[in-house]
Amino acid sequence: MRKPIAAALFALLAGGCMVGPDYVRPPTDAPAAWRLDEKDVRDLANTAWWEQFGDPVLNDLIVVALRENKDLLIASARVDEFAGRYGFVRAQLFPQAGFGADARRQRDIGAVVIGAGNSTIFDTYSTVLNASWEIDLWGRIRRETEAARAQLMASEEARRGVVLSLVGSVAGAYINLRDLDRQLEIARATAKARGESYEIFKLRYEGGIISLLELSQNRSQYEEALATIPAFEKAIAQQENGLSFLLGRNPGPIARGKTIDDLVLPGIPAGLPSELLERRPDIRQAEQNLIAANALIGAARAQYYPTISLTGLFGYSSTSLSSLFENQSKVWQFAGALKMPIFTAGAIAGQVEAAEATQQQALFAYQKSIQQGFREVNDALIDQDRTKLQLQAQKRQVAALEEYATIARLRYENGYTSFIEVLDADRSLFNAQLQYTQSQQVEFQAMINLYKAMGGGWVVVADKMTRTGDSR
């Protein structure tokens, strides 16, 4: 009969109750649908979407970044830090035991003070096994453990957030680099064509066929194209340096794969608004921070209640090493302690108030992260859709301006118009070609932003690559 009673008593003391609120996920006001409905979409949110670009070079760059990027390595180390903190806090739930051994020789201070002729010198030897345990009757330690675990999970989601951002940044930087490459190609081709035209115009001027005004206009057009080349070269070098930094490397050249014209636009991922709650690392991180803050309210309130701790020791103590482990040398002690605050001048109340305010901040941050997620998805969908329409119009514009430039030059050669019309047509074509390739980059970037905003299982795929370096 005594054993069941003792067991029940132990369970009560060990488990007790937990003060403070238990976490319940707050309700969220999610939109029923996106502002832009996409038909015939594929659910690609759980795959390595960057592979859809069809560029092995880009795939390799992402693999390198996931293994070598310093921000990601810092985030991984931070996870290890919080794992250690969690282990430290959790350990307080269990009894703590230790062992000590001591050997000393000392002179009796009393004999020296009295002035005894023969001072007393003696040896002391001891070995002690000690144990202590704070009974978590009100759940303070369990609440702190709950908070520490949530903080650990939050750090893990923060690391996954770095993964999400890193993949998008590397893909976006590479697309931008290929866009700049294409613009430089257009500028060089335009400068070459204008240079050849300028050489012809010089011969015509020397032959008295054209005026100095026309020659100067042609030269101005040629120099305009030449002036754009250094700007693109500078931008390319800086883009390579930025991409190298994302890869965890020193500044240097970046390998190239497919041109921006040959890259394949990824498909639009399907998903419901509510799925953002389970997909986005920043939202999951915000919720874990809320769980931690909620648990710390209970830890703060538990300080109002008494704390009960048990201590004990068992060992041997003797003035002779040879008799240290004999029965008469045994020493033991068992003790229980009860502590309870009576007057703290509002110290505990202040801690509870601070914990509650922190919980409110975490709640609002969680709600804000959800709203931000919905906004980013809608923005990315609209951006991708409208940029597609803009790109189609610009493609038609480039074709029209190519025809215009050809006709304008023919009219000039046949004396029907001045060279001003040729200059206008050529300049308009040059600018339209640059704008078209820039819009290509914007369209790719919009799709990248959509995948980042949606989150999804692809983050898990990329996360595995941080350890293996291979998505297969």
- Which of these three, 314, 339, 364, is where a domain ends? 339
Greater confidence (20 vs 319) lies with: 20
Given pLDDT bands bounded at 50, 70 and 90, which one contains residue 329? confident
Greater confidence (276 vs 106) lies with: 106
Measured in degrees and rounded to the nearest 5, phi and psi for residue 397 equal -65, -45
pLDDT at 16: 58
Q: Is residue 264 within 8 Å of residue 53, measured between CB atoms? A: yes
pLDDT at 36: 56
Residue 378 lies in a domain: yes
Domain of residue 440: give its range. 18-93+137-305+347-468
**Per-residue pLDDT tens over the stretch 157-173:** 999 999 999 999 999 99
Residue 415: give its domain's CATH number.
Answer: 1.20.1600.10
Which residues have a Cβ under 8 Å from the Cβ of 146 and sit 6 or more positions away? 291, 292, 295
pLDDT at 259: 93
pLDDT at 360: 95
Q: In this structure, what DSSP letter does residue 42 have?
A: B
Q: In this structure, what DSSP letter does residue 93 have?
A: T
Mean pLDDT confidence for 171-177: 95
Q: Is residue 428 within 8 Å of residue 401, measured between CB atoms? A: yes
Q: Is residue 426 within 8 Å of residue 220, measured between CB atoms? A: no
Token readout for 416 is 């029907």
Element (H, E) at 96: strand 96-107
**Per-residue pLDDT tens over the stretch 385-434:** 888 899 999 999 999 999 998 898 888 888 888 788 888 888 899 999 99
Residue 196 lies in a domain: yes
Residue 80 lies in a domain: yes
pLDDT at 181: 95
Which residues have a Cβ under 8 Å from the Cβ of 372 and sit 6 or more positions away? 282
Q: Report whether pLDDT(12) > 80.
A: no
Residue 7 lies in a domain: no
Q: Is residue 306 within 8 Å of residue 340, measured between CB atoms? A: yes
**Per-residue pLDDT tens over the stretch 337-383:** 888 888 889 998 999 999 999 999 999 999 999 989 888 888 888 88
Distances (CA, A) of 378 to 34, 285, 365, 393, 453: 6, 21, 20, 23, 9
Mean pLDDT confidence for 47-61: 91
Within this chain, do residues 447 and 417 fall inside the same structural domain, yes or no? yes
- Of 256-260, 362-366, 458-462, the range with the lowest mean pLDDT is 458-462
Mean pLDDT confidence for 318-339: 80
Residue type, 152: L
pLDDT at 294: 93
Token readout for 197 is 């035209």
- Which of these three, 294, 321, 339, is where a domain ends? 339
pLDDT at 103: 82
Residue type, 468: T
Compute the distance between CA of residue 433 and CA of residue 455 in angstroms, rounded to an integer: 34
Share of the chain above pLDDT 90, in %: 39
First to last CA, the chain: 60
Within this chain, do residues 258 and 271 fall inside the same structural domain, yes or no? yes
Within this chain, do residues 237 and 130 fall inside the same structural domain, yes or no? no
Q: Nearest Cα to 421, choosing from 399, 436, 406?
A: 406
Residue 122: give its domain's CATH number.
Answer: 2.20.200.10
Concatenating the DSSP letter of every residue in 289-335 gives HHHHHHHHHHHHHGGGS-EEEEEEEEEEEESSGGGTTSGGGEEEEEE
Element (H, E) at 130: strand 121-135
Within this chain, do residues 84 and 192 fall inside the same structural domain, yes or no? yes
Number of residues in the chain: 472
pLDDT at 468: 59
Residue 13 lies in a domain: no
Mean pLDDT confidence for 252-273: 86
- HSE-CB of 307 using CA atoms within 13 angstroms: 12
CA 124 to chain CA mean position, Å:
59
Q: Report whether pLDDT(8) > 50.
A: no
Within this chain, do residues 101 and 45 fall inside the same structural domain, yes or no? no
Which residues have a Cβ under 8 Å from the Cβ of 232 and sit 6 or more positions away? 180, 183, 184, 187
- Of 130-144, 298-312, 326-340, the range with the lowest mean pLDDT is 326-340
* Burial class (CB within 10 angstroms; exposed 0-12, middle 13-18, buried 19+) of 458: buried
Q: Is residue 312 within 8 Å of residue 332, measured between CB atoms? A: yes
Measured in degrees and rounded to the nearest 5, phi and psi for residue 256 equal -115, 150
Given pLDDT bands bounded at 50, 70 and 90, which one contains residue 320? confident
**Per-residue pLDDT tens over the stretch 105-135:** 777 665 555 555 555 777 788 888 888 888 8
Within this chain, do residues 457 and 420 fall inside the same structural domain, yes or no? yes
Q: Is residue 147 within 8 Å of residue 134, measured between CB atoms? A: no
Given pLDDT bands bounded at 50, 70 and 90, which one contains residue 5? very low
Mean pLDDT confidence for 282-311: 91
Tokens 């029923």 appear where? Answer: 32
Count how many domains the chain has: 2
**Per-residue pLDDT tens over the stretch 210-247:** 889 888 988 988 998 999 999 999 999 999 999 999 99
